[in-house]
Structure 1
């Protein structure tokens, strides 16, 4: 029997990041899994909210009918005061894309504060949902989450046509917001040693989250003399992103850490030759043999891996075949929704729900 829940998230649901894309897809798929779910926008500003934004967020959560299950995105939940969250009279489920303390570019004091707060606030939730086995292991080992109340709900991937990936010279594609965690300065450094090879790179991802870092990346591109070969395209519409995948010949993902790496799954599904790091869950999202993997933050290793893939079309084709095969085994969004519906059902049965 269907029951009611809300998915609470900060800011604008249309924000072009993997976490928000996950939330959008879950909202669309959960009704077919037996959960009547609605969206509950919280104030923007998380995970660094002003006190007024925290107050408003708590008021909106308190205003949800008490017989609804709260599914709370960790981007907001991890920065809310644990005592106030514990006082909410709802069954509560956390949705953790990746722990806030693992975002790159944080000061040690910020990391410690996030880690302690998130550990405490997760303890107030009846169930915890995360997006990869690797993130789940981190939550158990470092955040005190009991495996019995943990659900891994891998992101789904929609069906997509296989891309040709046969251009020459190759067109490289990277997808992800230009923020420190995504490792674009490492990628620029690696590509600066490959001037002798023909290639181009488009980076598709938001430029508004960390303007100072965007300026650093632009400066690195200019210093390397690659302004005519590397383009920061900014965020794009789903249609334009599909076109970018279709026109690419090699997918590159230099991220320092991923809670899952939805764009990696999208590249695999389309059969794009793929080079990524082993940062966080990315090492498992891309199965061994389905892509080339290097340590995060290592520009030399990245350059050594890029060179043969850029230079050898045959090598890219073999990697494309392996990626496509792995991509066909990825779960769909109905699978994701089913896993989350199970966690919500368990929370409803054992959590604090008003009669």
Structure 2
């Protein structure tokens, strides 16, 4: 059975969803599954009747007027990385519209796949779906990261957008400015330029110029020089960067939101999302408590040995395709 995988037209852009799509397609092909990538929902009309189709939710969920008629003649499924209405900062009427559109799309297809158990539960409850499959991201094996001094090099890795909460982190760092540290905010700067401008002003206003650095897109090798990964997201379906850090034995401090606890698997520190005092307190503990750092490094290394790779993710998705799109 050939699988037509409908991906976003901007597949070259760095994002967790795009990484997932690229890696799962490659891993399915490595299993012997014939996979053909097509870009955009407009490509559905050209697919043959009865074709097995898996659509990225960013392509499909917002356009039921395109997807629903095509789903009637295709064996279609949708892979949801993040429910559309969960995007941070949406006006209520826009969120409600996206929610309704997503519901219409997901109710019309044969299979819905989420990237975490939390995501599956949220989609099922929100849209009244009887079954949502779970296929968590894989993680590539990696050597242990050397870090720097084991304490002071902090890294926040992700698109610089309101959803990722870098502004929360900067305010929290202002509360530990009396301690030695530097922090790199690494990730695309073009998706929310107004947010980036406000963030730069916040860094200056908090007196953190020279200590907090907006470095733009960076290779994942930047994890090798990190002593602590900080993920202050307001919303996160899974948090692939968490498992990427743990695969290198890098401790993690993250928001207790969405599927992040699943990614951590009992390792790391959690703080409530959008809670500056709590995040600042957790950072102070990391910077001042050697025993805590030792425990977190041990937990990260233990979790490292339990992470599944992309071959396992592809095996799970292949099983979904055989059961639901056959």
Which range, TM-score by smaller chain? over 0.9
Q: CA deviation at 1:327?
A: 2.2
1:33 alignment partner, one of 9, 31, 36: 31
Answer yes or no: is 1:233 the counterpart of 2:215. Answer: yes
8 A contact 1:182–1:254 mirrored in 2: yes
Aligned length, in residue pairs: 324
Q: CA deviation at 1:164?
A: 2.6
Structure having greater relative contact order (Cα 8 Å, sep ≥ 6):
1
Of 161-170 and 326-335, the range deviating more from structure 2 = 161-170
Answer yes or no: is 1:14 the counterpart of 2:12. Answer: yes
Q: CA deviation at 1:297?
A: 0.2
Answer yes or no: is 1:177 the counterpart of 2:164. Answer: no
**Within 5 A, what are the aligned runs for 1:89-100?**
89-100=73-84
Unaligned runs of 5+ in 2: none
Q: CA deviation at 1:287?
A: 2.4
8 A contact 1:203–1:232 mirrored in 2: yes
Answer yes or no: is 1:129 the counterpart of 2:113. Answer: yes
The aligned residue for residue 207 of structure 1 is 189
The aligned residue for residue 278 of structure 2 is 301
Q: CA deviation at 1:40?
A: 0.9
Q: CA deviation at 1:34?
A: 3.8
Of 63-72 and 252-261, the range deviating more from structure 2 = 63-72
Unaligned runs of 5+ in 1: 43-56, 350-355
The aligned residue for residue 341 of structure 1 is 318
Answer yes or no: is 1:120 the counterpart of 2:98. Answer: no
| 1:247-300 deviation line (CA, Å, top 9, x unaligned) | 110110000111110001111111111100111111222123x11101000000
How big is the alpha-carbon RMSD for the aligned residues of Structure 1 and Structure 2? Answer: 1.4
Q: Distance in 1 between matches of 2:232 and 2:33?
A: 37
Q: CA deviation at 1:194?
A: 1.0
Q: Distance in 1 between matches of 2:261 and 2:75?
A: 33
The aligned residue for residue 65 of structure 1 is 48
8 A contact 2:124–2:130 mirrored in 1: yes
Q: CA deviation at 1:314?
A: 4.2
Query: What's the secondary structure of 2:129's corresponding residue?
Result: coil
2:171 alignment partner, one of 189, 206, 219: 189
Q: CA deviation at 1:11?
A: 2.0
**Cα gap change, 1:123/1:169 in structure 2, threshold over 3 Å: closer, same or farther?**
closer
Runs of 4+ aligned structure 1 residues displaced above 4 Å come to none
Answer yes or no: is 1:79 the counterpart of 2:57. Answer: no
The aligned residue for residue 227 of structure 2 is 249
Query: What's the secondary structure of 2:2's corresponding residue?
Result: strand
